[in-house]
């Protein structure tokens, strides 16, 4: 059975640099999640987890009969996240270019629970908890830029329609003037080490953390 079913999905996602190799990246990520709060618990047995890590590390070709085929380095790991109670989520890893990895948490986001799938919905009153989740992820991973939105990932910020992996997914291809909280994103957090958002409307700055929140007044 598919771990998450139905929809829509709320996506908490962020970009990180691939500084070493893919195996080191995923090892570091999972090690930090062991002590992360709110808790993130892997919902897979060890042999299945190794296979999912292999999908990201070794990759798989778009066409296994073509020696020059594009190779995708991505995986989806089922987890439980304790956001206002324990709930199912998917941890997605995608290498979108040579040095950038998109990390996504997908949550079932209907306003109604789906007990037949053991899936809890998300009411509007619960959204601040998920904003806190993204803020905590920034504090732990010091990521480049992160977003929260329905059916939209951080990769939507890139000015390209190309399918990843592609070198058009680079930081110079993110138009800072287009960063805004609207129907696509309700929260954007950008790291000042990579972007300077000073001067943008509705941005709040605290240390390296620059926040655009749909609850901030213009």
The overall average pLDDT reported for the chain is: 94
pLDDT at 98 over 60: yes
More confident residue, 65 or 31: 31
The answer to whether the bond into 29 is cis (omega within 30° of 0) is no
Pick from 181, 189, 205: nearest CA to 144 = 189
pLDDT at 128 over 60: yes
pLDDT at 218 over 70: no
CA dihedral in degrees (211, 170, 96, 137; nearest 10)?
-20
Token pair 């990520």: residue: 29
pLDDT at 16 over 60: yes
Q: How confident is the model at residue 216, as a pLDDT?
A: 73
Q: What is the pLDDT of residues 49-68, one digit of tens each?
A: 999 999 999 999 988 888 88
Rounded Cα gap, residues 82 and 93, in angstroms: 20
Rounded Cα gap, residues 211 and 147, in angstroms: 10
Rounded Cα gap, residues 23 and 59, in angstroms: 11
Residues 157-172, mean pLDDT to the nearest whole number: 95
Q: How confident is the model at residue 200, as a pLDDT?
A: 83
Where is 42: in which H helix or E strand? strand 40-42
Residues 112-140, mean pLDDT to the nearest whole number: 96
Q: How confident is the model at residue 184, as a pLDDT?
A: 87
* 13 CA to centre of own chain: 2
Where is 69: in which H helix or E strand? none
Q: Which two tokens stand for residue 104?
A: 């996504």
CB–CB of 126/84 below 8 Å?
A: yes
Residues 11-31, mean pLDDT to the nearest whole number: 96
pLDDT band at 198 (very low <50, low <70, confident <90, very high): confident
Rounded Cα gap, residues 87 and 79, in angstroms: 8
């Amino acid at each position: 059975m598919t771990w998450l079913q139905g929809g829509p999905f709320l996506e908490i996602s962020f970009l990180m640099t691939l500084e070493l190799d893919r195996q080191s990246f995923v090892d570091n990520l999972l090690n930090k999640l062991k002590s992360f709060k709110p808790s993130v618990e892997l919902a897979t047995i060890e042999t299945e987890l190794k296979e999912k890590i292999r999908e990201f590390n070794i990759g798989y070709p778009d066409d296994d009969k073509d020696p020059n085929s594009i190779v995708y380095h991505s995986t989806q790991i089922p987890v439980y996240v304790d956001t206002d109670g324990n709930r199912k989520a998917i941890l997605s890893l995608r290498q979108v270019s040579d040095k950038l990895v998109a990390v996504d948490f997908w949550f079932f986001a209907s306003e109604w629970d789906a007990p037949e799938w053991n899936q809890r919905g998300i009411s509007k009153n619960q959204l601040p908890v998920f904003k806190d989740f993204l803020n905590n992820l920034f504090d732990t991973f010091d990521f480049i830029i992160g977003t929260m939105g329905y059916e939209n990932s951080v990769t939507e910020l890139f000015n390209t329609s190309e399918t990843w992996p592609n070198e058009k997914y680079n930081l110079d291809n993110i138009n800072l003037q287009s960063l805004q909280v609207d129907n696509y994103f309700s929260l954007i957090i950008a790291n000042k080490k990579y972007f300077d958002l000073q001067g943008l409307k509705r941005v709040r700055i605290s240390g390296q953390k620059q926040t655009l929140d749909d609850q901030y007044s213009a």
